Structure formats: C-alpha cells, structure tokens
Structure 1
Amino acid sequence: MMSREWRTLDSQLLQQISGLQEAAPVRLSSIAKALDVKVISTTLPKGVSGEIRPDPDRPGSYIVRVNRNDSSRRQRFTVAHEIGHYLLHRDQIGDGITDDVLYRSTLSDSREAQANRIAADLLMPKNLMDEWIENAKVLKVDDVVGFLADKFNVSEAAMKIRLGVS
C-alpha cells in the first residue's frame, strides 16, 4: 500500500520517518522537525494552499508555509505534500514551489502526483491503516471511511483515495 515513491527513499530516511509514525494521527510536526523543515501557518494569497522555499535564515534548510485559512485537515495534507516535494524534488525547489488549491505548481503534474502519494504515505502509513481497519471491523463501524478519516485527521476524500474506494 506504500507508493513507489516511498520505496525509492533512502532506507535510513525511511527508518527515521517510520519511527515517527507510531500512532494515528501522525504528528507531521515531528517529521518536519526531524527533516529540519520549518512549518509556518500564515495567510497566503487566495487560491494558494502552501509552498516550500529555502530558509534564508538557515542555509540548507527549508520552510513550508501553509495557508491558515484552509481547514486543519487541508493544512495537514498540504504540509505533507510540501514535505513530499522536499523528499522527492529538493533539487528542483530552486527559489521555491508554490502549490495552488489543486496542488498544481510550476512542476509537472507527475511531480505533483508524486508529492500527493508521499503525502498519503506520511499521513496514512500502511501499518497504522491495517491496524485501524481491523479495529473498525472489531468495533463494527458502519462508516469506515469517516471513522478512519477522523482517526488519521485527514479528509474523507483523501481517505477514499488511500483505500481505493469511490
């Protein structure tokens, strides 16, 4: 259930991130801190969900800015998406990547899709998904998508995509 992009990451990096994905909802702040990526919630122009840029105060480090006007679940996915760019496309960030509400940027659609898949891997890791799907069965949950979306603090749309349901 983990993406092909996830499987291309360095094994030490995967181990570091996986160690921070021990409970749902995954604490993105811990992952960002471990990667030395600063996350700031701020007001961004209308239609912009987030951006990642080099941190001018910390050479070699990056800042993710997320639109404070978006819902908290949207902000979580945006942060994970921008971390995805950091993990996969750091050499292409240049002066920065700004993503609109549809997670489109100046990068190709394929790179945006890659960042979305890594975002899903970060927020909804396979081991925790398996655990909570089983818990939903034991608890005889009627609305599994809603239950899991609440548990992982993601949108129902993101959870449906992760589960492969329409």
Structure 2
Amino acid sequence: MINTLSQKEQDIISSFQENMPVNIGDLSRKFGVNAYIADLGDNISGQIIKDTNSGGFKISVAKSDNRHEQRFTAAHELSHFLLHKKEIGDGIVDSPLYRSKLSNKIEVEANKLAADILMPYKKIDTVIEGGVRTLEELAKYFDVSVQAMKVRLGIPV
C-alpha cells in the first residue's frame, strides 16, 4: 500500500522508519496533521477532522484505548489522510473495528498502510535476522500489540 503514495510521501515515512518504534505523532506533524489523545466517547477509537485553527486536519485518538491501540489508530487515521484526501470531507470517525461511513475497501486500505508504517516488512526481517524470535519480542520492538503483529505476519488471530 505504501507504494501507492508519492515518492516524497514514501521518503518521509522511510525517514521515520529508520528508528523503531515509529514516532507516529511526529510523522503526522511532518505531514501537517496534528495528533491528540482525547475523550472521544463510546465506540469511537479515532477520528480525522478538519482543524478549524490551522485549516488542515487533526487526528484524535481515544484516551480510553491502550497505547498500542492509540498508535495503530493514529497510523490508520494518518493513512486516511494520505490515501483518501478526497473522501475525508470534513472528517472521518472510526469505531474500534475501524469501520467508518466509508467503504470497507477504503478502511482495509487504511489498515494496510497503517501496518506498513508501523511494522515495515524489511525491518521485521532485519529484527528476526538479529535474533528476535517470539511474537511478544517483535510486538515490543515495534510498540504494537501481539494481535497486530500476528495480523501483519499472516498468523491467524
């Protein structure tokens, strides 16, 4: 999914992937999108909406979610910004299952790019070659949940 982005966007993401875990807040800011932790209410894990102060967009992730969920949600919302600017309109609100009013195809694309950003395959290979063997160690290295790492590696959850 990352290869569908412009070369400049790919280069920016790659520069943030040099050191793991990816600092998703700083990466978002590099694209002009501020990211916040907020009380979003029931059944909302994240959103990307127009920022009336800056004229751009801002990402909010649920304060009630754990750090791993917040990181993936922020990457998911940033992915909407990068892939689906035309479809965002005034904003997108996502449930914990990453289903917004957008099509399932668009949500799958955002999840795929979020995984590409947080858990690049080349880095996974390098870490495994370096001796990391367990899912727990891999998840810790990338600061993601074990479930997210299983999905990334194609292991049934």
For normalisation by structure 2, the TM-score amounts to 0.95
Q: Is 2:157 the partner of 1:163?
A: no
Q: CA deviation at 1:136?
A: 2.8
Q: Is 2:140 the partner of 1:150?
A: yes
**Equivalent residue in structure 2 for 1:47, among 1, 24, 43:** 43
Letter in 2 for 1:55: D
Instruction: Give unpaired runs (5+ residues) of structure 1.
Output: none
Letter in 2 for 1:8: T
**Equivalent residue in structure 2 for 1:73, among 55, 68, 71:** 68
Q: What does the per-residue CA deviation read over 1:72-102, in whole Å, with 9 as the maximum and x for residues that have no partner?
A: 0000000000001001011111111000010
**1:132 & 1:91 partners in 2: Cα distance?**
37
How many residues are paired up? Answer: 156
Identity %: 40
- SS class of match (1:161): helix
**Equivalent residue in structure 1 for 2:104, among 109, 128, 140:** 109
Alpha-carbon contact 1:44-1:67 (below 8 Å) kept: yes
- SS class of match (1:45): coil
Alpha-carbon contact 1:136-1:147 (below 8 Å) kept: no
Q: Is 2:1 the partner of 1:11?
A: no
Letter in 2 for 1:12: K
Counterpart of 2:18 in structure 1 is 22
Q: What does the per-residue CA deviation read over 1:13-33, in whole Å, with 9 as the maximum and x for residues that have no partner?
A: 101110111121111122111
**Equivalent residue in structure 2 for 1:122, among 117, 121, 127:** 117
Letter in 1 for 2:94: D
RMSD, aligned α-carbons: 1.0
Alpha-carbon contact 1:47-1:101 (below 8 Å) kept: yes
